[in-house]
A and B are shown apart, each in its own frame.
Chain A
Amino acid sequence: MSHAHTPGNGGAEHPAAPTVDEITDFEVLEIAVRELAIEHGLFTAEDHRRFTEWAESIGPAAGSRLVAKAWVDPAFKERVLKDAVKACKEIGIDWAEPTGFGTPSDYMNLRVLEDTPTLHHVIVCTLCSCYPRPLLGMSPEWYRTTNYRRRLVRWPRQVLAEFGLVLPPEVEIRVEDSNQKCRFMVLPVRPAGTENWTEEQLAEIVTRDCMIGVALPRPGRTADVHPMHRARRPVGSSRD
C-alpha cells in the first residue's frame, strides 16, 4: 500500500527512509483486531507479548531431531512420510499446541520431502512466507524476500549456487512452492562419515538451511560452528 502525499501533511514532502515501508492493510487489521480483543478482555497485552516471545523463540531444533530420528529409524521415517503431523508427536511436537487449532502454524498439514542421491528438494512460498513453524521456528529473513521467492522457482540452480550449493545436472532439483495449506520440510540424505553416530550427534549437523534445502548436512558443520572470517582491518584498528 503506498499512496501519494495527501494535503494532511501540510503539503510538505516527507519521503520515508528508503528501507521503511508504510504499514500494510494487513498490519492495520491485525492491530485493530488485537486491540479490540484486549479491550474486550479476551487476552491481555502481556499475554500477547508473551505468546509472541514464545513463538519467535521456537527455533529449528525439533526439525533437526526429526531428521536425525528418521535417519536411524526406518520405521519412524515411514511414519513421517505417511503422516508427518502425527509423527511429529513422537518427537514431542504437537502441531495443535498451544491453542488447539494449529498456532503457531497457520495450518496443520505437513509433508516431509525425502531427498535421494539423485533428487534434491528446496522449499519456497512464492505468495508470502509459508513455513513449517512448529518444527523450524520463524523463517529466516531472506526466505520472505521477493528476491528469493520469485527467483527460486525460475532459477533454482543459480539461487542455490548463491547459497554455496552447486549440484550436478544429473541431480533433479525439485522446487516445492508451498502456496496453499500444506507446509513442507526437506529430509536430506544422511551424509557419509556419520556411521555409528548417535541421534544427538546427527541432529547437530542438520541445520535450518538443510531442512529448507539451500544446504546439505556435512560432518563437522553445525549451527554452533560458523566459518566466520575476521575483519582484516577491524573498526578502531590503527592503519599503520
Chain B
Amino acid sequence: MRESESRGTPPAAAGKARFKVGDRVRVKDLPNLFYSRTQMYVRGAVGTIAACTYQDLIPEDEAFNRDGRIEQYYIVRFRQKDLWPGYPFDNDTLQTESPERWLEPADD
C-alpha cells in the first residue's frame, strides 16, 4: 500500500510497521484525551491485522492541526462474536482501522 497523500500531511516518518497481516492484536483501552477515533466497542477486543494501510498523523494530534506524531495504520478484523455478547452468527466479522498506538500484541 502506498503512503498517504492526505491533506496537509508531512512525509511519512514512522519507521517500520510493528505488526504484519495475520498478527493477533488487542485494542488498548486508553483514556480519551480531547479526541480519538478509536471506538469504544473495540476497546479490549482481540482481532487480526487484515491490512497495513498507510502511515499518517494520528487523529489525536491531527484534530488540533499539530505537527504531530506519524504512525502506521492497520485495518483490524474482529469476529462479531468477540465484540458483542451473544452475537448469534459465527461467520460474521467487522473491520475497522486503527493507528499503531492503540494496538498491542495478543497471545491467545
Pairwise interchain contact A107-B6, C-beta atoms closer than 8 A: yes
Query: DSSP majority for the B interface?
Result: mixed
Given A109-B54, A181-B6, A173-B91 contact (CB < 8 Å)? yes
Closest chain A residue, CB of each to CB of B75 = A182
Report the separation of the CA atoms of residues A54 and B38 in the bound assembly, to the nearest whole angstrom: 33
Pairwise interchain contact B6-A108, C-beta atoms closer than 8 A: yes
* A102 part of interface (Cβ distance < 8 Å): yes
How many residues on B have C-beta within 8 angstroms of the other chain's C-beta atoms? 32
Given A180-B37, A180-B59, A109-B95 contact (CB < 8 Å)? no
Pairwise interchain contact B92-A109, C-beta atoms closer than 8 A: no
Report the separation of the CA atoms of residues A175 and B94 in the bound assembly, to the nearest whole angstrom: 5
Report the separation of the CA atoms of residues A111 and B54 in the bound assembly, to the nearest whole angstrom: 12
Q: Which 5 pairs across A and B sit closest by C-beta, in order of nearness?
A: A180-B97, A172-B91, A177-B96, A107-B6, A175-B94
| Chain A contact residues, CB within 8 Å of chain B | 83, 96, 101-102, 106-109, 111, 126-127, 153-154, 156-157, 169-182
A186 vs chain B, min Cβ distance (A): 13
Pairwise interchain contact A179-B39, C-beta atoms closer than 8 A: yes
Report the separation of the CA atoms of residues A181 and B39 in the bound assembly, to the nearest whole angstrom: 14
Using Cβ atoms and an 8 Å threshold, which residues of chain B touch A107? Answer: 4, 6-7
A112 vs chain B, min Cβ distance (A): 12
Using Cβ atoms and an 8 Å threshold, which residues of chain A touch B59? Answer: 180
Report the separation of the CA atoms of residues A101 and B9 in the bound assembly, to the nearest whole angstrom: 10
Using Cβ atoms and an 8 Å threshold, which residues of chain A touch B98? Answer: 180
Closest chain B residue, CB of each to CB of A86 = B2
Residue among A107, A108, A109, A169 with most chain B CB within 10 A: A109
Using Cβ atoms and an 8 Å threshold, which residues of chain B touch A178? Answer: 97
| Other-chain contact of A102, B6, B38, B53 (Cβ < 8 Å) | B6
Using Cβ atoms and an 8 Å threshold, which residues of chain A touch B94? Answer: 153, 174-177
Pairwise interchain contact B39-A171, C-beta atoms closer than 8 A: no
Using Cβ atoms and an 8 Å threshold, which residues of chain B touch A170? Answer: 91
Closest chain A residue, CB of each to CB of B58 = A180
Report the separation of the CA atoms of residues A174 and B96 in the bound assembly, to the nearest whole angstrom: 10
B12-28: CB near A (< 8 Å → 1, else 0) gives 00000000000000000
Closest chain B residue, CB of each to CB of A120 = B92
| Other-chain contact of A106, B7, B39, B54, B97 (Cβ < 8 Å) | B7
Using Cβ atoms and an 8 Å threshold, which residues of chain B touch A127? Answer: 37, 39
Report the separation of the CA atoms of residues A87 and B56 in the bound assembly, to the nearest whole angstrom: 22
Report the separation of the CA atoms of residues A180 and B91 in the bound assembly, to the nearest whole angstrom: 25
Pairwise interchain contact A157-B93, C-beta atoms closer than 8 A: no
Using Cβ atoms and an 8 Å threshold, which residues of chain B touch A108? Answer: 4-6
A124 vs chain B, min Cβ distance (A): 10
Using Cβ atoms and an 8 Å threshold, which residues of chain B touch A156? Answer: 80, 92
Pairwise interchain contact B41-A153, C-beta atoms closer than 8 A: yes
